[in-house]
């Protein structure tokens, strides 16, 4: 499991293309229910410690945020993934490990709908 955090090997990992969710639509997911931040939310749901490094493929910056993303080929589900500040601002799609996506939905978000 430690291998994942230093990103040495991508052998069995399934990479998936995602893009950032930007703009006002993100506001309805602004606060996770029962967690102080999206980082804690990600840890609680994945049962993993928040990774040291950004989970964007080919990026070796420190992970700083639990970013809101969706898969480019699946528009109806939203996910949290650990990213650095730079990747959190990307407007182009990028690849992440499918295992690092934690779904976020109405049930586990503070009700702002």
CA distance 35 to 86: 24
59 binds Zn ion (CB under 5 A): yes
Binding mask 65-94 for Zn ion (x = CB under 5 A): -------------------x--x-------
Q: Which is nearer to Zn ion, 61 or 105 (CB)?
A: 61
CA distance 40 to 34: 9
How are beta strands 15-20 and 94-97 bridged, if at all?
antiparallel
Applying CB under 5 A, the span of 4-12, 39-47, 58-66, 71-79 interacting with Zn ion comes to 58-66
Q: Which is nearer to Zn ion, 39 or 108 (CB)?
A: 39
Question: Do 21 and 69 meet the contact criterion of CB atoms below 8 Å apart?
Answer: yes
> Would you state the structure tokens that stand for residue 75, as one six-digit string?
């528009």
Strand partners, 94: 18
101 binds Zn ion (CB under 5 A): no
**Which residues, numbered 37-56, are part of the site for Zn ion (CB under 5 A)?**
54, 56
């Amino acid at each position: 499991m430690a291998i994942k955090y230093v990103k040495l090997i991508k052998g069995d990992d399934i990479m998936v293309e995602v893009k950032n969710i930007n703009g006002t639509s993100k506001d309805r997911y602004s606060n996770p229910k029962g967690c102080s931040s999206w980082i804690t939310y990600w840890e609680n749901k994945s049962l993993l410690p928040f990774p040291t490094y950004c989970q964007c493929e080919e990026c070796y910056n420190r992970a700083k945020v639990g970013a809101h993303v969706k898969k480019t080929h699946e528009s109806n589900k939203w996910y949290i993934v650990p990213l650095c500040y730079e990747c959190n601002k990307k407007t182009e799609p990028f690849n992440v490990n499918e295992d690092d996506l934690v779904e976020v939905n109405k049930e586990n978000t503070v009700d702002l709908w």
